[in-house]
A and B are shown apart, each in its own frame.
Chain A
């Protein structure tokens, strides 16, 4: 019985469920019908855009690996990726990380989802890449529909508008500028949100309500993922505001509403972005602006080279930019013509739209922005050269923003919107014409069969033959007209199809190259993970150092011919490998690489004696404070193993197919104290000094390799104060009219050389020496030898030379020593080594320890032969060429200093360390092995804040004057500003979202105000009730 009841109930439930379902289906169909099926068309378009966004990453669906290319590179663990966006300092490579925190709002939502669903790094990156591309398409689709509706193309149905918008979306996603410029870590989010930002800009200016302004500020915050992105979004807002005010003829009300919209958006934007604005502002106020290292090298030459390909013709086709290792210039004639498709179709669309286009404010705005963008993006390659150079190099504040606009082609940011919109509009026009001709054809058909026949019948009276003839004629005419209209309809459909196909074809080449070469995943060998596990096996965070050093872009034997970024540094334990520094030429990094790879093409070459070479790696690696050295043999670059394998301070402890791991013996701690700080002139001085010092003193000595000086009380010693020049007449000031420079004689067969004094070209004093070599024969060098100098084995000598050359090959300065065993002169140092071509004055410095068996030295000046016979003789100038001996008292002084205090430290975060100092007998320098950055500060207990000085031109040194036992807090000061800013940003975001929630919840008219008013009413009632005496008291 119960079963039967259940069955009946089940049956009843099923019936009611099926009824409900039917009702809902009918309701949904009615809804679609009422909406003219527009939501359905939108849904189909969204699906198609989703499919289109997958195409660029098709390789990811058939092969494994991680999406990375050149500097578009991330760590290989999700935790590390998460840390990137919440820290102002990255210990993985040791660099300022202010650029990444700007992306926090963009990255964290997806990162949270990825963490919840336990995504791998490869899956997370692929999802992020696809999502950004998809968002670009959706965003453009929305803008296209928004503008197309306002254009009101005759007889355009919703399907046509959606089709046009779909084409616009695909063009926006796949146009060459987007493909060439939209890096995920950089401009891609800004680009993806740009059309939506425009919609909100329009809405905010038309109606500057709190809701619209909030939405605008929020979406601009989301898109502000890089400095240039912020600039471009604000340019868009201000440009449209200016346009809006202009076309409204500067009416007072419009002007005020624009100011209200811009001002309100700015007021909301600043606290929303406080997380990066506060650290930036603090840095500016403190006079320590965050500038990348290349900002110091910004010059006219740099901007000229970056503007070399930004001609108008390339800008029109959006063919500028590109990345390392990818050539997108195709030498195919058909493609060259096709590359003009987008600008040509855009102009045709404007012509076809005619007055409708130019009278529509949105179309006209984008049409105006197009030529402006194209011309500004030419940089210095057009008539705007002077203005651009002024803005870039000389305008007030250009030192701060100049580097942001160094790539002029980034101003083409606005052009893809215009092209997409115009092609989309043309499609709508063509489809509407197709439709109208089709309708015309139908009307002709009916005319032939009905109306036309009756009319003819009346006119023809009772003549049946004539009636029949007329009917036939009318039918024939109707048929012809119908055919013609059908033909016209089909012709327009064909043109529309041609427009779509040619637009797509014009983009396929560049997109195809990028899909195959850039957006295909890279398989990283397991060696890196194995080695990371090995160096972290004790569970302790041991520091490492990677060689060859990374300079941002690397070529690996396993990377299939593509450049790959510094994922190894980002993914391994902390290390000192700041690519901002390794990019530069004269850094400690580059010197170490050249020294250990024994590069014979170096500027300065030290001929090593076997008794001196070896056992100095640990002393030279002191700034890195690393426990392990990892040599990557798969990396294209110098072979580091040459010298390192024989070094007694290193021990090979692990090896994989691509990587060698060395343990560094007696490495200096990450934070340590030094009693000696030596100011030297070249990195070779560091080498010579550590070769002479005892093991203990090596650990207690640090070097200053630039112009920085500190007080002597910290143990500061200048090497120059202990050097004595050994050679006679180094500046060529003593000149004999017959013999030439005193103390220098021509050496060998120098018949082709003319040696003269030059009073015009000189570094200091009255003259330099000029050697003109007219020989074009290879190796026919004109030599000038200095007097012999007595040397002492084991003593330290420094060499300094100044050289200038014109059309010369093989000019150089050599220090030779006399080998008493072999009875011949041997090369000790080339300072500089072979110089070729033409150059202004150059200064070179080096030093060396005189090897055993050498009892005297001499300087040899080589004036090279003619490089280009057509350009006249080779001329080489020398001035101030000297050898100096470093006094023994220098080393005595270093050895005499007291031991530095003992130092222990605790890491509180990547940006904060608590240091305990014990037994400081005299002032000292506390070294921190993170990249030198003025934002690192040391706060000494009861003493105050100390700013760092650069040690080895690379790491931080804090001169501490306090003695005894005390604690020091070392901190990267931007982090606390970021934390404060993040709090403000999150609070503002929460308020904005709350407001929008109330706004959307149906209580639209000033929901927040209503809520506030009700709260005020409630509070006043409460106040009244408190103020009123109790009822019984009143009665009493």
Chain B
């Protein structure tokens, strides 16, 4: 299923439950571990639960990293670092999704 095919039906119990679980888990991780960990977990779970294709987080990662490069050029190191980290996590999520998808399909190469 691609993002185009996906229709988020907030009234669906399944989706509501998923959103609830992700939100609670992320909040817990934010409090107990770190914001980065909560962000990454939320991102990954969102992509996996709604079966989002790897190219979407990959594109997001690309945008974030490009933005980080420009921000760093303006010597905003903290912001640049943070945005690049987010970009990196988008990419990591994409790779995990790709791996999961590969496991569900026959391989070539």
Contacts and interface: CB of A to CB of B under 8 A. Distances in A.
Interface of A: 150-151, 246-249, 311-313, 316, 333-334, 336-337, 339-340, 343-344, 347-348, 350-351, 354, 358-364, 367-368, 370-371, 374-375, 382-383
B36 A382 contact: yes
Nearest to B84: A313
A339 B81 CA distance: 14
Interface in B40-95: 54-55, 58-59, 61-62, 65-66, 68-70, 72-74, 80-81, 84-85, 88, 91-92, 94-95
Contacts of A339: 69
Nearest to A147: B109
B98 interface: yes
Contact of A343 (B54, B65, B98): B65
Given A247-B107, A333-B73, A364-B99, 11 more contacts: A313-B84, A316-B84, A340-B69, A344-B65, A347-B62, A359-B102, A368-B95, A371-B88, A371-B91, A371-B92, A374-B88
A875 B80 CA distance: 43
Q: Which of B66, B69, B85, B108 has the most CB of A within 10 A?
A: B69
State the majority secondary structure of interface residues on B.
Answer: helix
Interface residues of B, number: 36
Given A312-B84, A316-B88, A348-B62, A367 B98 contact: yes
A383 B33 contact: yes
B37 interface: yes
Contacts of A359: 102, 105, 107-109
B34 interface: yes
B28 to A, nearest CB: 14
A370 B95 contact: yes
A354 B85 contact: no
Given A350-B58, A360-B108, A383 B34 contact: yes
A337 B67 CA distance: 10
A351 B58 contact: yes
Contacts of A354: 55
Contacts of A375: 92
A351 B58 CA distance: 7
Contacts of B72: 313, 336-337
Contact of B95 (A246, A249, A361, A371): A371
B62 A344 contact: yes
Given A360-B109, A368-B99, A344 B66 contact: yes
Given A247-B103, A364-B102, A367-B95, A337 B84 contact: no
Contacts of A371: 88, 91-92, 95
Name the prevailing secondary structure of the A interface residues: helix
A249 B58 contact: no
A934 B108 CA distance: 56
B108 A313 contact: no
B102 A247 contact: yes
Contact of A313 (B59, B62, B80): B80
A337 B91 contact: no
Given A347-B61, A367-B98, A383-B36, A340 B68 contact: yes
B55 A351 contact: yes
Nearest to B69: A340
A313 B99 contact: no
A357 B37 CA distance: 27
A693 B81 CA distance: 65
Nearest to B55: A351
A1013 to B, nearest CB: 37
Contacts of B81: 311-313
B98 A364 contact: yes
Interface of B: 33-34, 36-37, 54-55, 58-59, 61-62, 65-66, 68-70, 72-74, 80-81, 84-85, 88, 91-92, 94-95, 98-99, 101-103, 105, 107-109
A333 B70 CA distance: 9
B73 to A, nearest CB: 4
A339 B105 CA distance: 36
A336 B73 contact: yes
Pick the 10 closest A-B CB pairs, nearest first. Answer: A358-B98, A313-B84, A340-B69, A371-B92, A360-B109, A333-B73, A150-B109, A312-B85, A336-B73, A347-B62
A359 B107 CA distance: 6
Contact of B59 (A151, A351, A367): A351
A361 B103 contact: no
Contacts of B102: 247, 358-359, 361, 364
A246 B94 CA distance: 18
A313 B98 contact: no
Contacts of A344: 62, 65-66, 69
Contacts of B84: 312-313, 316
Given A316-B88, A351-B55, A362 B109 contact: yes
Most chain B CB inside 10 Å of its own CB: which residue of A334, A348, A350, A374:
A350
Contacts of A312: 81, 84-85, 88
Contacts of A361: 102, 107, 109
A313 B68 contact: yes
Nearest to B36: A383
A542 to B, nearest CB: 56
B3 to A, nearest CB: 14
A333 B72 CA distance: 8
A359 B98 CA distance: 8
Contacts of B36: 382-383
Nearest to A248: B107
A239 B88 CA distance: 21
A358 B59 contact: no
Nearest to B35: A383
Nearest to B101: A358
7 contacts: A151-B109, A246-B99, A339-B69, A344-B66, A350-B94, A364-B95, A368-B99
A869 B75 CA distance: 34
A361 B99 CA distance: 9
A249 B55 CA distance: 24
A339 B68 CA distance: 11
A150 B66 CA distance: 30
B46 to A, nearest CB: 17
Contacts of B88: 312, 316, 371, 374
B34 A337 contact: no
A362 B81 CA distance: 30
Contacts of A383: 33-34, 36-37
A258 B72 CA distance: 45
Contact of A347 (B58, B68, B69): B58
A339 B70 CA distance: 11
B25 to A, nearest CB: 15
Nearest to A249: B103
A246 B58 contact: no
B65 A316 contact: yes
A393 to B, nearest CB: 20
B38 to A, nearest CB: 10
Nearest to B61: A347
Contacts of B80: 313
Contacts of B105: 359
Nearest to A363: B109
A311 B36 CA distance: 13
A975 to B, nearest CB: 48
B94 to A, nearest CB: 8
B56 to A, nearest CB: 10
Nearest to A333: B73
Contacts of B55: 351, 354
Contacts of A316: 65, 84, 88
B35 to A, nearest CB: 9
A367 B88 CA distance: 12
B51 to A, nearest CB: 14
A350 B107 CA distance: 17
Contacts of B66: 340, 344
Contact of A351 (B62, B68, B69): B62
Given A312-B85, A360-B108, A383-B37, A336 B69 contact: yes
